[in-house]
Chains A and B, each alone.
Chain A
Amino acid sequence: MQPVVILGAAQTRHAARRPEASYAELAFEVVADVLARTGVGHDRIDTVITASSDFWDGRTISDMSVQDAVGAAGKSASKVSMDGAFALVYGAARIASGAYRTCLVVAHGKASEGMPRAIASAAFDPIYERPLGPDDRVALGLQARRFLDLRGLGEEVLAEAAAQAWTAAASNPNAERREARTAVQVSSDALVADPLRGSQLAPDSDGACAILLADEQTAAQVAAASGREGGSTTVRLEGFGLSTDMHGLGDRDLGTAGVLPRAARSAYEQAGIHEPGRELDVAETYDASSAQTLLWREGLGLPPTGGPAWNPSGGAMGAQPGFATGLVRVAEVFERLARGEGRTGVAHGMTGFVGQAHCVWVLRRR
């Protein structure tokens, strides 16, 4: 298999609403940005993988809503209707196979144009659950309650996790939430789905993310052409894991990290990581609630305190641009490593209710 190098990443300034931008314009922002950052021309892109949702975009074959923006026409293009971290698996496999030298992976989400709760409700089982009218926040509340009960924890742990996320997001220029909050402020917010308060839920955001992958030889050529030293500071994808749990909320124990440890184990094994708490320098997770911030940390095999820089971007609690959310985690880890802030990092994406499917990536700077 060919090693897979990340040439560059780009993301939008995520926001609650971007009414002036079409779906395509939102995606084009990050495509233009990643091409400019890497100095790679459109004609050098071999293949394109996008992540989008028909329900979120309000049209079937939703990859067509961004086809022009990502330059898919005339190329081998395909779509993943899951979080962008999963689309990266498809893209990386194309490079690893040796069949393609460069692959552009693009994910977008525009929550403001639809009704996020109603769209989430449509993902429940149509026979046994959907007629009752649940939505994603019901699932998040049930998970958070079970998480606390299973461990005998009080609601203050959720407030502390949320305050940490808000504070981290405040210094992330791309986050939608840009205001530091204390645990006391977070605790005084109104309950949305007990025990979760509004500030303990990830926001619904508009945004996009693009990641450009290449094989080693191409990465060295691109680096040489840009005047940088030939591939001396490349960041590679060195391990990944995927795992899917049962769909029904009553079929799994929501108080645990579910199948995340399985995905993490696979990613760590491939990357030769034995002690993630010591060997990783940065971790970014798709946490849709403060309970998930704590759960996914545990699921990734990290200690409750110490260990790698934890969600330094604020995680998904800072911005949740639909299917771009997991790909943004990869972009955040990439940027840190490329800047020289650490050598190895883990990025996590998820799809489905409260962590039904997890995707874990290990990135390493060489």
Chain B
Amino acid sequence: MDIPDVEPVAVEGRIRIPYRWPAGKAGGRFLAALRDESRLLGQRCPKCARVAVPPRPRCLSCGAVADEWVPVGPEGELVSWTVARGGPAPVAWGLVRLDGADTGVLHRLLDVAPEALKSGMRMRAVLDGRRTGQITDIAGFAPAGGATCNR
């Protein structure tokens, strides 16, 4: 029996399943300080003194339980940056190492033209006026000196 070739047939679909991702004790504390006190906190390892932002249940370097909190930022250094141009408008992204921290935070960069971006430049966290206890309470990072802390 001859079977002719046919146009490719496919099933179109979409998977949408609601989830919750608990921030945990450390994450809850970090996000609550951001929401309620406009403060950025880091977690310092009692053994090797590494300061992690955002916080982790264990020190990433030595594995000790980190339960000591220290203020970090709100200014820091731009470790690396890129401009994603795949969407309707370019979006600048950066890794910012906040003052007092040993790790970089991934976030969007604000109020800066792509041509003005330079690794090593000073940045400042810009907090969103409306707080929800999410990482988006930080609206992004803008060049230090230019922007105010609250929009």
Q: Given A146-B79, A249-B106, does the pair A191, B135 have CB atoms closer than 8 Å?
A: no
Contact present for A149 and B108 (CB under 8 Å) = no
A230-259 residues with Cβ-Cβ distance < 8 A to B are 246, 248-251, 254-255
Contact present for B103 and A248 (CB under 8 Å) = yes
Q: Given A131-B134, A132-B135, does the pair A250, B104 have CB atoms closer than 8 Å?
A: yes
Contact present for A138 and B13 (CB under 8 Å) = no
- The secondary-structure label for the interface of chain A is mixed
A117 to B87, CA, bound (A): 11
- The secondary-structure label for the interface of chain B is mixed
Question: Closest residue to B101 on the A side, CB-wise?
Answer: A250
Give chain A nearest CB distance to B130 CB in angstroms: 14
Contact present for B86 and A128 (CB under 8 Å) = no
A162-190 residues with Cβ-Cβ distance < 8 A to B are 190
Q: Which residues from B are CB-within-8-Å of A143? A: 80
A123 lies within 8 A of chain B by Cβ? no
- A-side interface residues, number (CB < 8 Å): 37
Q: Given A20-B8, A131-B134, does the pair A142, B86 have CB atoms closer than 8 Å?
A: no
Partner of B93, one of A58, A127, A134, A190: A134
Q: Given A127-B21, A127-B27, A127-B54, does the pair A137, B103 have CB atoms closer than 8 Å?
A: no
A144 to B52, CA, bound (A): 24
Contact present for A145 and B135 (CB under 8 Å) = no
Contact present for B85 and A131 (CB under 8 Å) = no
Given contacts A126-B19, A131-B136, 20 further A-B contacts (CB under 8 A): A19-B8, A117-B86, A124-B106, A127-B21, A127-B31, A132-B106, A134-B93, A141-B84, A142-B93, A146-B95, A191-B83, A192-B84, A192-B86, A193-B84, A194-B81, A194-B85, A195-B82, A248-B60, A248-B104, A249-B106
Identify the A interface with B (CB < 8 A).
Answer: 19-20, 58, 113, 117, 124, 126-129, 131-132, 134-135, 137-138, 141-146, 149, 190-196, 246, 248-251, 254-255
